[in-house]
Structure 1
């Protein structure tokens, strides 16, 4: 117990750390058992939920504010991939028996920072003790234009396959976190190393692109389990195939440096997960307008290949197919 203070009960914990985050009127200051969700005329309500678990999605010694922000951001990424702008979320926090008030204060500060950045409010949730260790579950809500929620099922042969941002940084950052000697093996500068570690610790949900996604994407999903595997999921759901040019897959300077020094690192980059970028199918007639509006939103997008009639995903380099094994991260 930090500072010798008496540990608050659940009501005191909520009042001290989480009531200040419940800025939406629908949250009722967390004094009720349920929240109300604001209605938006002509909009669709989009709901998503994801959990992160200590030892699986983050390290037990990660900063509390980063754990909170990652828990929220992975859900905001799902909303962005459905063309939805977030407005609120529910939080379930399972604390280990020896939780610490200083840690919880940092956790709440992380949520407060991202609430301000992304314009969301805590609507409610639950706090419990967990003998199995720390985990955080968030259910996030957003609004999308009516009829403008791109599912995985809407892609068609002949459409272009785009991805936002850069791929592979988080997976390489996780490898570095586990074995810092890789920094020398990959010939990384200090700035490269820090960039990869930061992308693993704190994803960047493409919330700014949500409206553009809703306007142009025929199918979309966020890339959380690896580009190769997630491209396969989108293609399978749409009953199409995909051909991706490995040379066009966007890599950050740090990831490019690592894969030049160690070609095996490319497999990790393309299959390791935790990118939280968006994979989109775009009609070729809309490609120029889509790229222009994405640039206006400040989000980099890259055309990495095409959707085809043949099933399966083929990653090519100079016309030759590359093999990536399972293609994605799996919990099971």
Structure 2
């Protein structure tokens, strides 16, 4: 793609997504300005997605874009931040012609508008490899109030929002491994919902938090490591959707199935620690204890869990 074509396409596809944000300069500059907000801290996060790793090869471009937005906003949600802007970097493979690039931009625009986020800048390039894109998401949180991974203390409760296991079952449904007649599980995998509505609750109650992207046990483990504590999780207490519970009831090895749900990833819920009773929207699944790492129980017995979540390396 020539420089002229690239800039013309940026103007056509992405300039409307700035929402007129002053600091974006209509994407005519090679940098943006983020204004200050007195009394607030700027929270910055970045996630990337790659074809064949984070979504199936052949996925609709608009769904790829919407998932990219949502997985990044999920990180802001876990930090109790309010999103407002983002930067996009996208590497187009040859298979992404004008129609596919337009569909990607349309999906991106739909979710940026839905979540009140302005595109402030970024970059587009071509690649001989799989489709790759990353988003840098920006959010505001009252000064000193970002909920970090560090902060959990012995005696805290461990709680999680929503339901767990739908992401990994949704991936299995998308590949035909799991029955999903109404497509609900596959939709949960393709279009996770960032729990932005929980930010006030997290600010008021959470001592530490992370989003559940790599797997509940893995992400709880990130909190434990950052806080210098251990965790004990009761997998019998996992909050499950009706679809996940139906799947669980059909499994010959219930314990192995619970471990799969707790380690599969792609749920994009919020796991956190709290010093008092869990408020509405959260389910208590364990406790913070003396020690290190995460211990899982089922039927009162300690489980051996070989891999606690997704690993890229």
Bin for the TM-score computed over the shorter chain: over 0.9
Gaps of 5+ in 2: none
The reply on whether 1:316 has 2:297 as its aligned counterpart is yes
Superposition pairs of residues 27-46 of structure 1, within 5 angstroms: 27-46=24-43
User: Which residue number in structure 2 is paired with residue 92 of structure 1?
Assistant: 89
Q: CA deviation at 1:134?
A: 0.8
Structure 1 unaligned spans of 5+? 1-7
Select 1:267's aligned residue among 259, 264, 283.
259
Instruction: Please give the residue correspondences for 1:154-303 in structure 2 after superposition, counting only pairs within 5 Å.
Output: 154-178=151-175, 180-183=176-179, 190-191=181-182, 194-262=183-251, 263=254, 264-284=256-276, 287=277, 291=279, 295=280, 300-303=281-284
More helix by proportion, 1 or 2? Answer: 1
C-alpha distance 176-98 of structure 1, shift in aligned 2 (>3 A): closer
**Alpha-carbon distance in 1 for matches of 2:213, 2:66:** 16
Inter-partner Cα distance in structure 1 for 2:203 and 2:43: 12
Alpha-carbon distance between aligned partners in 1 of 2:151 and 2:37, rounded to the nearest angstrom: 25
Q: Tell me, what secondary structure is at the counterpart of 1:52?
A: strand
Q: CA deviation at 1:103?
A: 1.2
2:118 aligns to what?
A: 121
State whether residues 271 and 324 of structure 1, in contact with CA within 8 Å, keep that contact through their aligned partners in structure 2.
no
- Cα shift readout 1:287-317 (whole Å, capped 9, x = no counterpart): 36xx1xxx4xxxx211111111132322222
Q: Which residue does 2:310 correspond to in 1?
A: 329
Distance change in 2, residues 1:127/1:280 (3 Å): same
User: How far did residue 269 of structure 1 move?
Assistant: 1.4
TM-score (norm 2): 0.94
Aligned residue pairs: how many? 308
1:143-164 deviation per Cα after TM superposition (whole angstroms, max 9, x unaligned): 0011111211100001111111
Measure the CA separation in 2 of the matches of 1:181 and 1:279: 27
Q: CA deviation at 1:41?
A: 1.0
Q: Deviations over 1:167-186 (max 9, x none)?
A: 111111112223x1532xxx
For 2:63 and 2:257, how far apart are their aligned partners in 1?
A: 26
| Match among 8, 11, 14 for residue 15 of structure 1 | 11
**Could you tell me how far apart the structure 1 residues matched to 2:226 and 2:177 are?**
40
Judge conservation of contact 2:69–2:112 (CA < 8 Å) in 1. Answer: no
> How far did residue 214 of structure 1 move?
2.3
- Report if the CA contact (8 A) 2:52-2:130 is conserved: no
TM-score after normalising by structure 1 = 0.89
Q: Does 1:59 align with 2:56?
A: yes
